[in-house]
Structure 1
Amino acid sequence: MEFITDRITIDSEICNGKPIIRNKRITVQTILEFLSAGELQEEILRQYPSLEKEDIYACLKFVSDLMKRNFTIKTVA
């Protein structure tokens, strides 16, 4: 298991190695999809009572940090 932050981890045995929140089977992607669909934090927390508001902030911070990296697009034949 790799600790990305104190709230975001990656474990190849959980959710196919996607970043997850505090070793729960809730992926960062799931939370971001809810937010991008316009869901309010309060509704996400109601649907996932084991989450904390800080978990949602950690997801946003994780993705923000990820976007600071440089990416190169290569054509694959």
Structure 2
Amino acid sequence: MVNLRDHIESNPDVMLGKPVIKGTRITVELLLRKLADGYDSGEILGMYPHLKREDISAAITYAALVIENEEVIKAA
């Protein structure tokens, strides 16, 4: 499993505090949208050559953990 702290950071001075790939302004959200739009990891790495495959894996893992810990409130 990827160590998220090695790849993901959140800083209020960078992209309004959204989680980004460490040392970049590339948000987890952007990577997830690219994947959802049908781009594969290789294509994304071609668009952003300074990224590593582990960065993309970390973004997916981060998103899964956020959803896993999301509180669901049943509507009345």
- TM-score tier, shorter chain, comes to 0.7 to 0.9
Indicate the RMSD between aligned Cα atoms, in angstroms.
1.8
State the distance in 1 between where 2:22 and 2:28 align: 10
What SS is found at the alignment partner of 2:5? coil
State the distance in 2 between where 1:47 and 1:70 align: 31
Aligned residues: 72
Q: 1:8 — aligned with what?
A: 8
Greater relative contact order, per chain length (Cα 8 Å cut-off, separation 6+): 2
Deviation at 1:57, TM superposition (A): 0.2
Please give the residue correspondences for 1:31-42 in structure 2 after superposition, counting only pairs within 5 Å.
Answer: 31-42=31-42
Q: 2:56 — aligned with what?
A: 56
Name stretches of at least 5 consecutive residues in structure 2 with no aligned partner. Answer: none
Greater share of helix residues, 1 or 2? 2
Q: Which amino acid aligns with 2:22?
A: R
Deviation at 1:44, TM superposition (A): 0.3
Q: 1:24 — aligned with what?
A: 24
Name stretches of at least 5 consecutive residues in structure 1 with no aligned partner. Answer: none
State the distance in 1 between where 2:5 and 2:66 align: 13
Of all paired residues, the percent bearing the same amino acid is 34
Deviation at 1:69, TM superposition (A): 1.0
State the distance in 1 between where 2:70 and 2:33 align: 23
Q: Which amino acid aligns with 1:25?
A: R
